[in-house]
Chain A
Amino acid sequence: MGAPIDVLKRIPLFAELDDNELERVASVFKERHFSEGETVIQQGSGAAAFFVIDSGEATVLVDGKEQRVLQPGDHFGEMALIDAGARTATVLASSELSCSGVTFWDFRPLVEENGVIGWKLLQTLIEIYRSERRQ
């Protein structure tokens, strides 16, 4: 079991990882199911995991206002993998929802044991930071 690699490839944080490295990342994902109406993540709460949607739909809300609908292949919560800080949005399951998720606790040792993956993630983070500053 793991997240689909073609989905992970589309996630900006993992953009520099090759297929072998993506496979290692994919291997630490676990399935998680949510019932329709269930809160998947709550804005302001501490963050434990990053999720990719396998099936079903979810709604993103910020300060109670609907922002967009997430569908299979979409992802959310990747910042949780780095600092386990507070969630910046709420995500609600708008149907039966099946996700692949990875926690901070499982992701961190993977990066600690593999400096190449860690360095690539750092480079990507800097790139995202530069790009956001330019905007």
Chain B
Amino acid sequence: MPLIEALDPALYGSKAAGLGQALKDGLPVPPGVALTGSVVDAVASRDEQVMRQVMESVRPLGGPLAVRSSAVDEDSAEASFAGQHLTLLNVRSADELASALSEIWWSANSDSAITYRQRVGLFTRPSIGVVVQLLVTPETAGVMFTQNPVTGADERVIEASWGLGEAVVAGRVIPDHYRVDRAGNVLERTAGRKSIAFRSLPEGGTVEEEVAPELVDRLCLEEGQLAELSRLADRCEEVYGRARDIEWAIADGRLYLLQCRAVTTSGP
């Protein structure tokens, strides 16, 4: 199912439904396909007919691909499964995609996932949808809060680093820190220490690379890019409401929205 039509979280999971809605609302989400939990289950069982259908559906995307889990019952459990499930980047062939889907299926059926489900009172069989998207290979990526998550101030907080956003999300670098007001005026620019960057490998997977010494402390976002991020924050708040937590990437000079969810921590 094309991501733009995968709007039912009960079938495709909340991540897929959120990204589908974002595409429908004209936000700059990389093109993708959503797979239901039963399709992922069939691929993990090596059902060849279903595997062929999946390969057909992802072919128009080209490649390389980002394969992200989209747990079907996350919201109903009112519990975050973040970290229990997987994102696999730079998937480059049909075999790699089948392996990635199998790995994601098992991530939802691992001992730790089952233990966690039991602890939050979930005794039903896990169902894990998947989002397959064209992988953007960013020069710069990071996160943005449309409202300051620490002070609660009505301003955008942007954290950015070189390469794939995993360096920021996983806390592997001290990212650049920016604050921008609602009118788009930059209130603060503080350079981080971005000594490493994650980049895609031509043969698949990602690698952690050292950043050139002159770039470690250099700000990685320019004025125009901050303005563009500020406009993206406006648009996300128009569509979803205030206080959003956004993952973004800039590739070939173009800004992409990778994820947009409600902020889970708020200031005083």
**Contact indicator A31/B102 (Cβ below 8 Å):** yes
A120 surroundings in chain B (CB, below 8 A): none
**Contact indicator A32/B45 (Cβ below 8 Å):** no
Given the complex of chains A and B, what is the CA–CA distance between A116 and B44 in angstroms? 27
Size class of the contact patch on chain A:
20 to 34
Given known A1-B45, A105-B126, contact A46–B106 (CB-CB < 8 A): no
**Contact indicator A41/B99 (Cβ below 8 Å):** no
> What residue of chain A has the Cβ atom nearest to residue B48's Cβ?
A1
Given the complex of chains A and B, what is the CA–CA distance between A42 and B112 in angstroms? 9
Which residue of A1, A42, A84, A106 is within 8 Å of B118 (Cβ)? A84
Binding site of A, secondary structure by majority: helix, strand, loop or mixed?
A: mixed
**Contact indicator A104/B114 (Cβ below 8 Å):** yes
A47 surroundings in chain B (CB, below 8 A): 111, 114
B259 surroundings in chain A (CB, below 8 A): none
**Contact indicator A46/B46 (Cβ below 8 Å):** no
> What residue of chain A has the Cβ atom nearest to residue B44's Cβ?
A30
Task: State whether the Cβ of B178 lies closer than 8 Å to any Cβ in chain A.
Answer: no
Given known A30-B105, A84-B118, contact A41–B45 (CB-CB < 8 A): no
A106 surroundings in chain B (CB, below 8 A): 125
**Contact indicator B114/A84 (Cβ below 8 Å):** yes
Given the complex of chains A and B, what is the CA–CA distance between A28 and B111 in angstroms? 18
Given the complex of chains A and B, what is the CA–CA distance between A26 and B140 in angstroms? 47
Given known A48-B109, A48-B111, A87-B111, contact A105–B46 (CB-CB < 8 A): no
Given known A30-B44, A32-B102, contact A103–B118 (CB-CB < 8 A): no
Task: State whether the Cβ of B38 lies closer than 8 Å to any Cβ in chain A.
Answer: no
**Contact indicator A105/B109 (Cβ below 8 Å):** yes
A25 CB to closest chain B CB (Å) equals 14
**Contact indicator B115/A30 (Cβ below 8 Å):** no
Question: Which residues of A (106-124) have their CB < 8 Å from a CB of B?
Answer: 106
B128 CB to closest chain A CB (Å) equals 12
A84 surroundings in chain B (CB, below 8 A): 114, 118
**Contact indicator B115/A33 (Cβ below 8 Å):** no
A120 CB to closest chain B CB (Å) equals 24
Given the complex of chains A and B, what is the CA–CA distance between A23 and B99 in angstroms? 24
B126 surroundings in chain A (CB, below 8 A): 105
Task: State whether the Cβ of B265 lies closer than 8 Å to any Cβ in chain A.
Answer: no
Task: State whether the Cβ of B113 lies closer than 8 Å to any Cβ in chain A.
Answer: yes
A45 surroundings in chain B (CB, below 8 A): 111-112, 115
What is the 8 Å Cβ interface bit string for chain B, positions 173-190, against chain A (1 contact, 0 not)? 000000000000000000
Contacts A30-B46, A31-B46 known; list 12 others, CB within 8 Å: A1-B46, A30-B45, A30-B102, A32-B102, A33-B103, A42-B111, A45-B112, A46-B111, A46-B115, A49-B111, A84-B114, A87-B111
* A-B pairs with lowest CB-CB distance, top 6: A46-B115, A1-B46, A105-B125, A48-B114, A45-B111, A48-B111
